[in-house]
Amino acid sequence: MNPELTPKEVAQKTSPIIAALSAIASIVLLHALDSIHLWALAILVGLVMEYVSALLIEWSVNKFVYKRVQLLSDAILKVKKGSSDVTQDPSTESTKEDQTDLIQWANQQVESIQKMHAKDNFRKEFIGNLAHELKTPLFNIQGFVLTLLGSDLENKELNRKFLSKAAKNISRMAELLDDLDTIARLESASFEMRLEPINISTLVREALESVESKTQQNDISLSLSIPSEIQTEPMVLCGGSQMRQVIANLVGNSIHYGKPKGQTQVVLSIVESQIQVVVKDDGIGISAEDQERIFERFYRVDRSRSRNSGGSGLGLAIVKHIMEAHGQDIHVESTLGEGTSFTFHLQRLPAEGLS
């Protein structure tokens, strides 16, 4: 049935068919009774059936649509009141069997409405966070430039100082935009993770080299533990550049939230047919409530501190997307004041499997 048709239009399109079938049946019956000369009676029966069936079809469709609209209306009211389940009213005259499909349908509408609300709230929060993340460095750059324009431009020391600060904020904006582009590519339907044999020892060392300067700036001790079994059989199946980014982001996150003179460790081990990678620290830790949201975009455990120490707020979101593209999960364990541990696994490739 075309959803754009009204009940009356449905009846008008359907009743002529019923009328024609009734007239044909009447003619066949009259022929069988050798009373074909009463053919006008067959036409009369057809006209009467068209009128009666049109009324019945319109009434039935109206009732059918009304019941569903009423049920959906009740469902929407329940959603507004905070209820997520639509139950049957025992005072109705219809049997439970007659209403089962309606109740199921209405509950599906409730779920759809709730999902739309969640997506809309996420969209609003995402846009708000993005605007804030871009606005902060942009206003800083504006302030530095205006200060320079209003000062003595012959002062080279002052110029270098403010231009250096503006450059840092430009780098922060570039990092944010680059991370947004990364997430967009990971979420794209056309994105395909290219898995290839990678030397995990070399990959991890290269990732740690990229964040080495940050450990020195934050007075964090960084160590790497690789057992001999992995050193002699080091291959894993993964996307090389993406996995470097995962490890760099996890270690960078550990540094941001580490304690002064704290320690961050990267530990590799063999777990059955996989290589386990653990990034752990003795930093400030993450509460159980925050652990449920740390992989969301722009979510920060300590907003003021993390913004002051840099970062786009998208690092862990990118980590989760990359691990999902590998068909793997990432797990977090943390205790406030004691530290945090992130764990993930990669498919191990024995040396004999590469020949």
**Domains assigned to the chain:** 196-354 (3.30.565.10)
Q: Is residue 126 pLDDT above 50, yes or no?
A: yes
Name the band, by pLDDT with cuts 50, 70 and 90, for residue 281: very high
Over pLDDT 90: what percentage of the chain? 15
Q: Is residue 235 pLDDT above 90, yes or no?
A: no
Q: Is residue 180 pLDDT above 90, yes or no?
A: no
Phi, psi (degrees; rounded to nearest 5) at 112: -65, -45
Q: Is residue 96 pLDDT above 60, yes or no?
A: no
Residue 302 tokens read as: 């300590």
Name the band, by pLDDT with cuts 50, 70 and 90, for residue 214: confident
Mean pLDDT is lowest, of 58-67, 157-166, 196-205, 234-243, for 58-67
Average pLDDT of the residues of the chain: 75
**Following CA atoms 180, 275, 240, 331 in sequence, which dihedral angle do they give, to the nearest 10 degrees?**
0
Name the band, by pLDDT with cuts 50, 70 and 90, for residue 215: confident
Q: Is residue 318 pLDDT above 80, yes or no?
A: yes
Q: Cβ(321)–Cβ(183) under 8 Å?
A: yes
Per-residue pLDDT, averaged over 244-269, amounts to 90
Name the band, by pLDDT with cuts 50, 70 and 90, for residue 353: very low
Contacts of residue 41, Cβ cutoff 8 Å, sequence gap at least 6:
26, 30
Q: For position 182, what pLDDT does the model report?
A: 80
pTM of the model: 0.57
Residue of 262, 301, 299, 266 lying closest to 282 (CA atoms): 262
Q: Is residue 354 pLDDT above 50, yes or no?
A: no
Q: For position 344, what pLDDT does the model report?
A: 95
Q: For position 288, what pLDDT does the model report?
A: 87
Q: Is residue 85 pLDDT above 70, yes or no?
A: no
SS3 307: helix
